[in-house]
Structure formats: structure tokens, C-alpha cells
Structure 1
């Protein structure tokens, strides 16, 4: 530190930015200075609230940045003559150093918040990639299963193929050149268990050709239907099926 005025060290002390010798000297001053004690308490309360915004450790260089910032501003100790015009509600003692330190703390919090956001984005991407990988593996297992059977039909301006593996109790639907559903609508797949219809997942409304791993086990389904439903799907079909496929023998 380049300053020897202990009144200007309240913020640095609250942020643990003083080395051992400086901290010991300031604590001796603090024992007899109520004004500095009040400022230290305020700084600690403020930094505690700011710390709630981020749990990311600040970079090692942040201490040096804070100390450099402090030495570049004019520091006014308590008791100095106030400026002629003071805005209502602004504390007069130690103003410049308070704002410099506050700016440094805010920069540290912003850095931490950015790091958290970047980490969360990377974690989301990793989870999506893992999910895509698992779906691709499940699709390959059904399509390559020794007991896989298929049935195809023309539908919605294109063609659809149902592939079922009884051994794995899973089914895959392959769409080729199907017309896109109306805006705000989606194709929904269904297993027909006798009179009961069980949702087997949604197709991508923006693609006419796609391969879909149908949701849930095949069970005792007798056939598969495709209906046009509101975006997000329905609990039960709300329209006549655009296609019906018997389970392949």
C-alpha cells in the first residue's frame, strides 16, 4: 500500500486486501476510531450481500487490481472539509475510496456471475449431448435387433415405417418426406392398447424426414396411430389419425 493514512484502509481491511503487517497496524487504529469501525461494518455487510450473487472464487489478480484502483483516486479521511455541495443521502466520509472499492467488488461479482452462466451453459450442452448419445444408441439397438420387424405405409404426402423389436420391447418410427403439420400443431405418435390410446411421443414439427424412438414399451399394443395435436401434445387424441399401422408380425 502506498498510503499511510489508516482512515483510508477501511474498505481494503473489510475485503481482506491488507497484508499481515498492514492489517495489524490498522487493527490498532481501529480500536480507538469509531468512524472507521462503522465503515468496516458497512463494507462487510455490503460484501456479504454481494457474495450471495455468486459462489465462484475471484481470480488471484483481483486483489492487485483493487489495490491499484485504490491508489489512483483521491482519498478523503473522516473529518476532512466537505465539498460545498453534497447530494442528500450521500455519506461524506471516505467517498472516493468507497466508490472505487465498490466498483472493484461489483466487477468481481460480475466476473463470477459470468463464469457461473458459462458453466451452466456448458453443463446444459453436455447433458443434451449425453441424452442425444443415449437416444442414438437405443435407436441403433432397435433397428439392428435380430428380431426387428417392420411395416411401411404411405401417409401425409410421404411415407412412414414402423420398426418393432419384441425382445427389446421398443419401437422406432421412421418418417420420409411427410408434409409438415400446420403452424402450432405437431404429429403425435400413439400405441393402441385395445381401446386405450397411449402416447408414444412427439415428432419434430419442423422436419418431414426423421427417425423417432417411440416413448415407452410396446407391451401389448395392436397398432400405432399418428394424429395432429396442439403444440406440446395431448393426453388423448383430439383428431382423426392421419395414419394407422398394424404391428408387424
Structure 2
């Protein structure tokens, strides 16, 4: 029988590393994907020392179109089959879209949208065969437009939409598909994006460990959507009561304060 594995992207730090820890703690063998091999090796050693199954390390950059082919080849070489897929890798950049580097912004789409979609479609059959699941890390940004971070917000809206559709489609095959939508989380994502958290971020903030815990439980319970933290839970509810134009202006003002 082929060994089952949980594939986790963006596993070198933050929410991804915490997701790797919680899956491993629940007896899942994990395959860790990220750009930085040294970070993955450190995390793998930690998981193994804690008594978890030995992780598989796949160092690659998901912004490269051939990266998913490399992941598939590495898993085949290890003789494992994906039971659970965790699409956590992603990044964003602050600034006005028309004034920022075009290639940098297309890179956001490559990682947040293309790679996530490619992995989800590539492993849909194995996940269905093993009655596993897909956990996609979206964002509270999925629910509204984001002037000042336009491409990132749009990419996360895509992630949420795709996840909900796959929840419906693949659910008929016994597959669990969950989208988790955290607010600003204190991770390296904020540093890369150029984000400076303030009081409003503190209201929405939940630790990476808690986000991972709720994401794992939500997936295992086949929840369509997980909103970690009270502050995050009320945002989609409140958005129903305001015109789209007002939300657009408010989101733009919020992003301006972060710069």
C-alpha cells in the first residue's frame, strides 16, 4: 500500500510551520514545501524529535511554473500519495497597483492563484481516493476589495471562491475542502508586504498557532469556512450592511494608514 502524506506549502515559517506541527502531532506524515531548505530541515528535525513521522522536504519556489511538476516528481520518488493538501503559500505587497513593479505583482498571482489551483487539481484524484481533504489559506481580505494592495486582495477572493466551489463539487466524493480566512497575523508575511500593524490589526489578530489549530479542526470537521477570532468573524457580517462604494473607500483608507 502506498504511504499517505499531507502536503503543506509555505511551510518554512508562520502559519505554514504551525500547520505542519499540528498535522504531524496528529500522526500525519508531512511533505514540507517552501523556498528555504534550511528552514524546512530545521522544522523537519523538530517534528521528528517530537516523535512525528519523518517529513519529506521539497525546497522550491512556487512562483516558477515548473515547481508543481518538481513537487509531483519528488513525491513519486518518495513513493507517497497525497491524502491532504494544505495550500498555505502566499504573499502580498503594499502600494498602488499601477505604480508597482508588474512582475512582482504577477508573482503574487503565480503563488497565490496559479500554484494553488494547479496543486488542487493535480491532487484532487488522490485526495478523493483516500477520502482526505484540501485546506486553503485565504484571508479576511477575501471578502472585500483592497486599494493599496489590490492584487493580493483579488487573489484571496479567488482562493475563497474556488475553495467554496470545490467544497461543493468534491464533497460528493467524500473530500473535505475548507478555506480559512485569518486577519492580520504576526508572521514574516507582514514584513515582506511592508505591513506595519496598528490597533485595528490587534483587534483582528490571532496567533499563527491558533489559526493552524482552528484550520486543522475545521478541515477535519468538513467546515466550508473557518474565521479564526471574534474580530474576524464579525467582518463578513458587518459588510452586508454597507454599500460597496463605502466599503471600497474604507478599505482604501485602512490600507493607507498601514503604509
* TM-score bracket for this pair, using the shorter chain length: under 0.3
Q: Which has the higher helix share?
A: 2
Q: Which has the higher strand share?
A: 1
TM-score (norm 2): 0.20
- Structure number with the bigger relative contact order (C-alpha 8 A, sep ≥ 6) is 2
